[in-house]
Chains A and B, each alone.
Chain A
Amino acid sequence: MRFFLELRKLIFLALFIYLIIKLVIFSGLPTDYMIQITLYSFIIVLSSLGLNVIYGFTGQFSLGHAAFYGIGAYTSAYLSKVLEIESYYGLIPVIFLAGIFTAFIAYIIGGPILRLKDDFLAIATLGFGILVRVILDNSDRISEVLGGSRGFVGINKITNLELSFFITVFFIIITKNLIDSRFGLFWRAIKNDELAASSIGVNTFIAKLIAFIYGCFLAGIAGGLYAHLYTFLHPSNFDILKSIDFLIIVIIGGMGSISGTIIAGLFWVFFIEGLRIILPSEILEYRWVLIPIILILIMMIRPYGLMVKKEGY
């Protein structure tokens, strides 16, 4: 009860935004493509939020976030295919299970690699990303359904506005609550000074592991939504470039800022997809020339991220 009372403002705001989107869609103005992009942008926000918990709040750099996003996508698509899920209420437990499975993988590999720091952690997570890519490329040897390097085809299109919007909002609220709790405080303390945190009794390893598992859980949930929105999965959708996408969103939004990640995630998807609509394809390929320059400039001018400053308190 307290949960709803304290957060009633946020919940009303979310309902209000939902109604507006619903009305706009109902008016028939946006094309199917635009609706799909809108749903996709919520999914990207959700997954980026996961990386922000890991990197932005706790300071544990990961270059393998897309791998967890991919694990969630493949797991949920496999489950829904095997269980012949066609309805959104059937999909909710499937996506939840996929999230749990992703979290479990994060727990297995987080144990050893979270003992590493900074750039060594970066290389280890990057390595994990490539390992997952190799496994996905060979996944048809595990089960024919997964499709290997040909891709996973014929997933039911179930993700709708309600699912992607409300699941994302729900986890934004959960994340905010976690950040405000003692765990969030431990995370931020660890990012500031891990040694000092352990000197005042914080079990820094467990705290980092919780952040990592939770962040990857969000990526897994987002992957599940993605799979049932686009109905086709390919290993190349979850490689290092995708991880860098998430990283850029966290950096632009400001490390350790929930609202920043939301805004940056939405902006990023509409920016990238918007360019695709506006620009002719010859110019479109300049995107990835421009993006790294922006990234480098941000690092030079604001090494801690664009919209960075405090959250809550």
Chain B
Amino acid sequence: MNLLELKNVSKYFGGIKAVNNLSFIVKKGEILSIIGPNGAGKTTVFNLISGFYIPNEGKIFFNSQDITGFKSHKLSRLGIGRTFQNLRLFKNLTVLENVIVAFLSKHEYGIIDSVFRTRKYAEITKKAKESARGFLDFFGLLNKEHFYAGNLPYGEQRKLELARALATEPKILLIDEPAAGMNLTEINDLMETLKKIRNTFDITILLIEHQMELVMNISERIIVMDFGEKIAEGTPKEIKSNPKVIEAYLGAL
């Protein structure tokens, strides 16, 4: 079943085509990676799917619903979660609060509930803490819940960002270069974490990554982009032997 579909999507900045006539499908439950040289338009694709950009041409479907032009907070509520290439945590909020915000954006109570601290307020607040602690536990961050997010070491900030994205209960998670700045041990650790996320939360993952070992090991399918266009698509095995890919990207390694 198709969870996400891009149909002939293009995005221009001034005269530059950052994404050009791109179409692909993400199937429910798979791990799909997008690779390509720097400036190939990968992050732009994420920004289009998560509603930060509106495509100049083409349409985007999620669960067969046309979501082109939806605002990002609405897309989050529909079940599209994401992380950012350059970590965008709420640095002056505690680790626990970072995750609670995500939970509370979906579990609502009104201003009157807040002002008078009604039963509903108390119940949802309690649930939010429990749920958030569950996610922190999953990533081994529970003992740091009272730290300010900005004070965590880099690797743990990456994990916290994943925890925060997962707390919005997404159906698909877009992960932008999770291995950036990590050493080999950390990358192996990350690989396990990503697999564990998919199995535990029954989630579809769309991944942008440069680290080839990680991509080849974890992905079921791979899309290769160059100059805003899709130049290849297939299993890791097919991609490895595709001459176009080797020329554009892998050859450079």
Give the interface of A toward B (CB within 8 A). Answer: 2-3, 6, 174, 177-178, 180-186, 188-189, 191-193, 195-204, 210, 313
Known: A178-B114, A182-B109, A192-B93. 5 other contacts (CB 8 A): A2-B116, A3-B117, A197-B101, A199-B84, A203-B73
Q: Which residues of A contact B117 (CB under 8 A)?
A: 2-3, 6, 177
Q: How far is the CB of A299 from chain B (nearest CB, A)?
A: 18
Chain A neighbourhood of B104, CB < 8 A: 182, 185-186
Q: Which residue of chain B has the shortest Cβ distance to A191 in the bound complex? A: B92
Q: Does B114 lie within 8 Å of A185, measured CB to CB?
A: no
Nearest to B167 among chain A residues (CB) is A200
B contact residues vs A (CB 8 Å cutoff)? 50, 52, 71-73, 76-77, 81-82, 84, 88-94, 97, 100-102, 104-106, 108-109, 111, 113-119, 121-122, 124, 146, 164-165, 167-168
Q: Which residues of B contact A198 (CB under 8 A)?
A: 71-73, 76
**CB proximity of B227 to chain A, nearest CB, Å:** 26
B98 to A, closest residue via Cβ: A189
Distance, CA A191 to CA B90, complexed state (A): 9
| Complexed CA–CA distance, A196 and B88 (Å) | 6
**Within 8 Å CB of A184, what residues of B?**
114
Chain B proximity of A211: nearest CB distance (Å): 11
Contact A200-B165, Cβ < 8 Å, known A181-B121, A192-B90: yes
Cβ 8 A contact of B77, one of A182, A183, A196, A201: A201
Chain B residue with Cβ nearest A202: B105
Chain A residues closer than 8 Å to B118, beta-carbon distance: 2
In whole angstroms, how far apart are the Cα atoms of A195 and B106 in the complex?
17
Partner of A188, one of B84, B92, B164, B165: B92
Asked if B101 contacts A199 (CB within 8 A), the reply is no
Assess A193 versus B89: contact at CB under 8 Å? Given A3-B117, A183-B111. yes
Are B73 and A196 in touch, CB under 8 angstroms? Answer: no
Given contacts A185-B101, A185-B104, contact A200 B81 (CB under 8 A): yes
Q: Are A185 and B89 in contact, with the CB atoms below 8 A? A: no
Taken together as a complex, chains A and B put the C-alpha atoms of A283 and B162 apart, in Å, by 59
Distance in angstroms between the alpha carbons of A198 and B105 in the assembled complex: 9
